[in-house]
Structure 1
Amino acid sequence: MAPLVAGSTWRRGVFLLLGGVLALPYALLAVTFAQLLTGAEIPRSLVFALLVIALVIAVVPLLLDGSRALEIAAVRALLGVDLPDPAPGHRGDRDTRLRSALWIATHLTIGALVMVALITAVPMALAFIAQQFGIGADLVSRERFGPLDGRDTGWLTLTGVVLLVGLGYAVAGLGALAGSMAPVLLGPTPAERIAALEAQATRLAERNRLARELHDSVGHALTVATLQAGAAREVLDTDPEFVRRALAAIEEAGRTAMDELDHVLGLLRETGGDRPSVAPQRTLADLDRLVSDARATGLAVHAHRFGDPARVPPAVSREGYRIVQEGLTNAARYGHGPVTLRLDLHPDALDLELVNAVGRAGRADPGRGGRGLDGMRERVLLLGGRLSVGPHGGRWLIRARLPYEGTR
Structure 2
Amino acid sequence: MFLLLGGVLALPYALLAAAFAQLLGNDDVPRPVGAGLLLVAAVLAAVPVFLAGSRALEIVAARALLAVDLPEPAPGHRIDRETRLRAALWIALHLLTGGLVLFAAISAFPMALVFLAGLAGVDTGAAPDDGFGPLGPGHPVAAGLAGLALLVALGYAVAGLGALAASMAPVLLGPAQAERIAALEARSARLAERNRLARELHDSVGHALTVATLQAGAARELLDTDPKFARRALRAIEETSRRAMDDLDHVLGLLRETEDGRAPAPTAPQATLDGLDRLVADTRAAGLTVESQVSGALRGLPAVVSREGYRIVQEGLTNAARHGRGPVRLRVAVPDGRLEIELVNGLPGTTGPGGGGRGLDGMRERVLLLGGQLTAGPEGDRWRVRATLPAPREETG
Q: Same fold (TM over 0.5)?
A: yes
**Equivalent-residue separation in structure 1 for 2:197 and 2:268 (angstroms):** 12
Residue 160 (structure 2) pairs with residue 186 (structure 1): no
State the Cα distance separating 1:17 from its structure 2 match: 0.8
Residue 208 (structure 2) pairs with residue 221 (structure 1): yes
For normalisation by structure 1, the TM-score amounts to 0.86
**Equivalent-residue separation in structure 1 for 2:41 and 2:145 (angstroms):** 45
**Which string of whole-angstrom CA distances, capped at 9 and with x for unpartnered residues, describes residues 57-90 of structure 1?**
4333222222212111111111122111112332
State the Cα distance separating 1:294 from its structure 2 match: 0.9
Alignment partner of 1:346: what SS?
coil
Partner of 1:283: 272
**Equivalent-residue separation in structure 2 for 1:156 and 1:257 (angstroms):** 82
For normalisation by structure 2, the TM-score amounts to 0.89
Letter in 2 for 1:309: L
Corresponding residue pairs, total: 390
Change (3 A) 1:287 1:19: same
Contact 1:127 1:140 (8 Å CA) reproduced: no
Alignment partner of 1:116: what SS?
helix
**Equivalent-residue separation in structure 1 for 2:393 and 2:300 (angstroms):** 15
- Matches of residues 6-25 of structure 1 in structure 2 within 5 Å? 14-25=1-12
**Equivalent-residue separation in structure 1 for 2:353 and 2:74 (angstroms):** 41
**Equivalent-residue separation in structure 1 for 2:7 and 2:387 (angstroms):** 66
**Equivalent-residue separation in structure 2 for 1:274 and 1:398 (angstroms):** 36
Change (3 A) 1:277 1:129: same
Identity %: 65
Change (3 A) 1:274 1:392: closer
Query: Which residue, out of 338, 346, 349, partners 1:349?
Result: 338
Alignment partner of 2:47: what SS?
helix
Partner of 1:162: 149
**Equivalent-residue separation in structure 1 for 2:127 and 2:311 (angstroms):** 88
Change (3 A) 1:367 1:63: farther
**Equivalent-residue separation in structure 2 for 1:318 and 1:268 (angstroms):** 19
**Equivalent-residue separation in structure 2 for 1:171 and 1:76 (angstroms):** 18
Alignment partner of 2:331: what SS?
strand
Alignment partner of 2:212: what SS?
helix
Contact 2:249 2:267 (8 Å CA) reproduced: no
- Matches of residues 240-255 of structure 1 in structure 2 within 5 Å? 240-255=227-242
Letter in 2 for 1:330: N
Structure 2, gaps ≥5 residues long: none
**Equivalent-residue separation in structure 1 for 2:60 and 2:176 (angstroms):** 17
- Matches of residues 20-169 of structure 1 in structure 2 within 5 Å? 20-39=7-26, 51-136=38-123, 139=126, 141-143=128-130, 158-169=145-156
State the Cα distance separating 1:161 from its structure 2 match: 3.3
Structure 1, gaps ≥5 residues long: 1-13
Partner of 1:377: 364
Letter in 2 for 1:284: L
**Equivalent-residue separation in structure 1 for 2:88 and 2:63 (angstroms):** 18
Q: CA RMSD in A?
A: 2.9
Letter in 1 for 2:290: V
Alignment partner of 1:309: what SS?
coil
Letter in 2 for 1:192: E
Contact 2:319 2:356 (8 Å CA) reproduced: no
Letter in 2 for 1:217: S
**Which string of whole-angstrom CA distances, capped at 9 and with x for unpartnered residues, describes residues 208-248 of structure 1?**
11011001000111111111111111221232322222122
Change (3 A) 1:105 1:156: closer
**Equivalent-residue separation in structure 2 for 1:21 and 1:407 (angstroms):** 65
Query: Which residue, out of 225, 244, 253, partners 1:238?
Result: 225
